[in-house]
Structure 1
Amino acid sequence: MPDQVQKKRAIILFNLGGPDGPDAVKPFLFNLFNDPAIISLPNPFRFLLAKLISSRREPVAQEIYAHLGGKSPLLELTQDQANALQTSLNDLDDGFDNRCFIAMRYWKPFADETARAVKAWGADEMILLPLYPQFSTTTSGSSVKDWKRACREIGLNVPMKTACCYPTNAGFVSATAEMVREGYEKALAENKGAPRLLFSAHGVPKAVITKRQDPYQSQIEKSAQAVVNEMAIPGLDWLVSYQSRVGPMEWIGPSTEDEIKRAGKDGVPLVIVPIAFVTEHSETLVELDIEYREIADHLNIPVYQRVRTVCSHPKFIGGLVNVINETQTALDQNGADSDSAQTRGWWCPDDHVCATAKQPGSTH
């Protein structure tokens, strides 16, 4: 009897992207600020403002990336995750021939290039997997919207389903908790007192939360709480803060920088945990490791320990496998994403109740 023909399933991994050299820094910044999910002005005003901001921020950004050899490591680290996830999925022998593709939002490979590659491969189905555990219109929302545009333009029309978010996924939480405990114990071994955990996430303007009813902040808090629950350390001192503020708008808080200063006043050791990032990039390797460490040293904070991101941690990759499986079940049972105004093409409804109400271990 001949072997059953496997369905070709494309897994599309979304991430921010980063410049691949000094010449890419300014266009990368322009692409970022020209995204209507980031700056909601109509054109030509958004285009002109993005030109202005990218020109003004380029010198600072060039200095940041100079610490990293002139480029972002994000693509290489995301490719490692894609390779590990593809291997794990194909080891399941569940009737799918899986191939993982990467689509970056603000630098290469863009959605258009990746969509052409998926079409050329002949995918039968697609699972869309943002590498953002917590949903925001500024990250996952923007990436998936751009992906669907790219698919329409080339006629890539196969069933697809979006893994909206997974803030308390068991693999993500377990991998994070394991690495946080290691950092916590290193800080504790310095004998400078019990450390304070600072779960730091990328901030967003407060209007993103209030006007768009974006669940991002709520999901960040749920991720941090799930990690703390997994660690099960009695009397643990911890809180959530937000980094990377730009511009004059009011942002969600408290800010990571302010909390570092408060730790200095309190004289407590600090363990910094990047809770929204699953790969190393400029905001962990420069902002957390260099800029904020300098502030901590200036304030004589007794210990400043930064926990690594989960990257290709086996437990995190295993968690992503579960996310794919649950998303596939939703595709099989409920059909493909819709682009209607009501659903916006998401697995979750607009209010994202299912994304915030389920228990750890679930995709939602």
Structure 2
Amino acid sequence: MIGILLVNLGTPDAPETGAVRRYLREFLSDPRVVEIPRLLWWPILNGSILLTRPARSARAYARVWMPEGSPLLVYSQRQSDGLAALLQERFHGQVRVELGMRYGNPAVAAGLAALRQQGCGRILLVPLYPQYAAATTASTFDAVAAALRRQREIPELRMIRDWHDHPAYIAALAGRVRSYWQAHGQPDRLLISFHGLPERCVALGDPYRRQCERSTELLVAELGLPRDAWVQTFQSRFGPAKWLGPYTDQTLQSLARAGVGRVDCFCPGFAADCLETLEEIAMTGKESFLHAGGKEMHYIPALNDDPAWVEALASILLPHLEGWELSPQTAGPGAVKDFAVSAMAG
């Protein structure tokens, strides 16, 4: 039996101060996320940050919370369920899918345990980050290793590192944008915003910036956009360090002051909508743009549970199962490869 563990970043259990404080404590305690010596960082984290930030963040989460829960968890679970249904239909129960969150619930360890309980001796890890960064993808590996450290018998493991330039990913992004424009018309400028990263991380070797730029290059080529029709930026910076730029919030204000009437924002680095897309961009970003003199700002939703994205995700991950033979009663030779090809064609 083969298991697939989808992993996203995580979310508080509720839009409440206590739940957000627990989540932020776990998130900001990860040395992959904050690369500051513990002796320096610990007093800061447990002092001003965890005393003041949770209440503010809880109010932000409350603005985007869905009836079913956190948007990130809701859409990630729908992706997982959609992928499971797709693979169940093709491989008749020989491939199982579970969801884990790097921080919060359901935990990575719980997802691994669920796959092992279903008899999965081979597991493919799929961090839901198209572009690689140590703070996200590498941290996912850390969590898996920590969960397995306590087990006597560990499964055979593979992990997808990134898919920033995969044709299926780019096609899904372009399809999302085209579909929105068909319904709402086209903007004066498309703003393509990725989550930020301290410049120091790139200097130390993270390929994140160039992978974001490559994703943008392929997306705008697929859309056929001229150079003056789009701009790429980075959002969600935190703390006094210099982060990758240009910054999304400042760019939105500059575009409004320059007389750009309508801007559409799209965030290709987020496989599922979350606080950073729905509150920071669709709400706060829009308010900032309009206040600076802009006329319209639209947010184009993330890939979420779009069936076309679920098909694309399958075509991205299935080649990584090659050589892990499925039961001959349920899938013939080359079945994984044939399905991946048909998914991309579809």
Q: Fold conserved (TM > 0.5)?
A: yes
Structure 2 counterpart SS, 1:92: helix
Structure 1 vs Structure 2 CA RMSD: 2.1
Do structure 1's residue 229 and structure 2's residue 210 form an aligned pair? no
Query: What letter matches 2:237 in structure 1?
Result: R
Gaps of 5+ in 1: 1-7, 333-360
Aligned residue for 1:248? 240
User: What is the TM-score when the length of structure 1 is the normalising length?
Assistant: 0.82
Shift in alpha-carbon separation, 1:186–1:321, aligned structure 2, 3 A: closer
2 CA distance for matches of 1:290 and 1:96? 42
Aligned residue for 1:165? 162
Do structure 1's residue 54 and structure 2's residue 47 form an aligned pair? no
Query: What letter matches 2:87 in structure 1?
Result: L
Do structure 1's residue 134 and structure 2's residue 127 form an aligned pair? no
1:122 to 119, 122, 125: 119
Shift in alpha-carbon separation, 1:131–1:39, aligned structure 2, 3 A: same
Structure 2 counterpart SS, 1:106: strand
After superposition, what is the alpha-carbon deviation per residue over 1:104-158, rounded to whole angstroms, capped at 9, x for unaligned?
1111111222232222222120000011111110111101111122012123512
Do structure 1's residue 311 and structure 2's residue 304 form an aligned pair? yes
Structure 2 counterpart SS, 1:16: strand
Matches within 5 A, 1:333-352: none
Is this contact kept in 1: 2:168–2:316, CA < 8 A? no
Shift in alpha-carbon separation, 1:130–1:175, aligned structure 2, 3 A: same
- Give, in angstroms, the shift of residue 290 of structure 1: 1.1
Query: What letter matches 1:84 in structure 2?
Result: G
Aligned residue for 1:83? 81
2 CA distance for matches of 1:39 and 1:235? 35
Q: Percent identity?
A: 26
Aligned residue for 1:351? none
After superposition, what is the alpha-carbon deviation per residue over 1:244-268, rounded to whole angstroms, capped at 9, x for unaligned?
1110001000000111012112211
- Give, in angstroms, the shift of residue 68 of structure 1: 2.6
Aligned residue for 1:72? 70
User: What is the TM-score when the length of structure 2 is the normalising length?
Assistant: 0.86
- Give, in angstroms, the shift of residue 13 of structure 1: 0.6
Is this contact kept in 2: 1:26–1:58, CA < 8 A? yes
2 CA distance for matches of 1:86 and 1:76? 15
Gaps of 5+ in 2: 326-343
Query: What letter matches 1:38 in structure 2?
Result: V
Structure 1 counterpart SS, 2:245: coil
Structure 2 counterpart SS, 1:17: strand
2 CA distance for matches of 1:243 and 1:308? 16
- Give, in angstroms, the shift of residue 188 of structure 1: 4.3
Is this contact kept in 2: 1:169–1:319, CA < 8 A? no
Shift in alpha-carbon separation, 1:86–1:186, aligned structure 2, 3 A: closer
Is this contact kept in 1: 2:137–2:161, CA < 8 A? yes
Name the count of aligned residue pairs: 320
Structure 2 counterpart SS, 1:290: helix
Shift in alpha-carbon separation, 1:69–1:233, aligned structure 2, 3 A: closer
Query: What letter matches 1:27 in structure 2?
Result: R
Do structure 1's residue 143 and structure 2's residue 140 form an aligned pair? yes
